[in-house]
Structure 1
């Protein structure tokens, strides 16, 4: 427990620092983080029948991140973002030379990693630009609400939890914890609306509900993935916490939905 707490503390400090130190650090940090999470995903799904193309999958995602970051920083025109397309298509062509029995298993899991891991992180980084120029308040607020929802779910589930949410996937999660996470996230969103006036209060509240609901579902989806592969953690880089992908499972579904909501609302 002590190791887990120390790791969690420094993890949060690094995360917050990456969001507060400017657009360059923010974009660079989450480009590297997304690549590592994708590497972990490919690592846990890889088997004799499934050999995703790690190099091209990570290269596709990194190309999208880097070109978008350069555009956001004013270093490239928007049209250069489309450079990720030929890299993506190379995944199909490369499979022709592999002489594998089930090449589309490899192709499918390579692209699944891009969609399941890379795309949500991409949406998260775009939160910093919802209002135009880079603003750290939205990505920082997103992470605060995600951590708050997790904390509220843990506390409510531990003290009040009786009714299982998805017992076959995560035996410890309960409906009481699920609702507790949403309620605490909404309460914290009211504080964020007061201090982070980037978006109106009602948008912070809706954002909190989306994160509370779909952050939990994202956690369950990753649990479902690991159970189907008989894997406990996505990695061991974080003592007491597993891999980076384990720490960001709530972002994988909530991130794109929050970005979609705020993009349409602003």
Structure 2
């Protein structure tokens, strides 16, 4: 517990610091974080005998995230994103030279990692540039993370105290409906606090964001649990002592970030 608390404290400082130190630090940090998380995903599935195209996948992820982030600084023609096409198709060609019994399994998991991890991080990064005509604003990403953490904390505390009805026992035996709704309430409380301090969104907008984060954050957690169970592993990695790996820490972001971005974008407009 002590190790978990110390890791959590420094993790919190780093995450908040990445937001408050400016747009360039924010962009570079999440480029590195998303790439490291994708690499962890590829290492995890290798335990099951699958051989994804790690180098190609990482290059494609860095290119797409980097160009997407660069667009907020230099308004270039998005046609440059077409550069990813030859990289994508190189996966099929490279597989021809590998001796594998499941060639299309290797190809598929290469793309799954990119879609499941890199794309959500791109949407989360884009949340920081939704306001002020595309200028960086740390308040929305910070609100997102605080509501996500509040949901995790509330779900745990309510689940331990009141949890009786299993939410999805097949994939996560400890999760309960009581914990799920407790997480939503805790996240909505944080949303209310943010609505009083930051007025980029009205109260209703912040509360809607909290509900989306709690709902899809929980689903993301369940999907990651399904992934780990399919490979018979407890943690996605060991980078964060007491917490597991990066996937274990950001599973709630993976499904919720794209949905939140669409919601806020439509809400603002």
- Greater shift, 92-101 or 25-34, is seen at 92-101
Normalised by the length of structure 2, the TM-score is 0.95
CA contact (8 A) 2:68 2:122 kept: no
CA RMSD, Structure 1 to Structure 2 (Å): 1.4
CA contact (8 A) 1:40 1:234 kept: yes
Structure 1 distance, partners of 2:228, 2:136, is 35
**SS of the residue 1:206 aligns to:** helix
Deviations 1:29-82 (A, max 9, x none): 000000111011111111565211111111111101111222212275433233
Structure 2 distance, partners of 1:83, 1:106, is 22
Match of 1:26? 26
The answer as to 2:130 corresponding to 1:130 is: yes
Structure 2 distance, partners of 1:222, 1:47, is 16
Match of 1:119? 119
Structure 1 distance, partners of 2:11, 2:83, is 33
Structure 1 distance, partners of 2:142, 2:171, is 30
Indicate which of 211, 214, 217 corresponds to 1:212: 214
Match of 2:73? 73
Structure 2 distance, partners of 1:78, 1:196, is 32
Shift of 1:219: 0.6
Match of 1:181? 183
Match of 1:233? 235
Shift of 1:202: 1.4
Shift of 1:123: 0.8
Shift of 1:263: 1.8
Indicate which of 243, 246, 259 corresponds to 1:244: 246
Shift of 1:158: 0.8
Shift of 1:100: 2.6
Indicate which of 137, 151, 154 corresponds to 1:152: 154
CA contact (8 A) 1:7 1:239 kept: yes
Structure 2 distance, partners of 1:90, 1:117, is 20
Structure 1 distance, partners of 2:49, 2:241, is 31
Match of 1:63? 63
Structure 1 distance, partners of 2:263, 2:75, is 28
Deviations 1:165-188 (A, max 9, x none): 111211111100000000111111
Structure 2 distance, partners of 1:46, 1:168, is 24
Match of 2:265? 263
Match of 2:200? 198
CA contact (8 A) 1:49 1:102 kept: no
CA contact (8 A) 1:61 1:84 kept: no
Structure 2 distance, partners of 1:48, 1:100, is 13
Match of 1:41? 41
Structure 1 regions of 5+ residues with no counterpart?
none
CA contact (8 A) 1:222 1:249 kept: yes
Structure 2 distance, partners of 1:194, 1:53, is 47
Match of 2:164? 162
Structure 1 distance, partners of 2:209, 2:169, is 27
Shift of 1:109: 0.3
Change (3 A) 1:261 1:48: closer
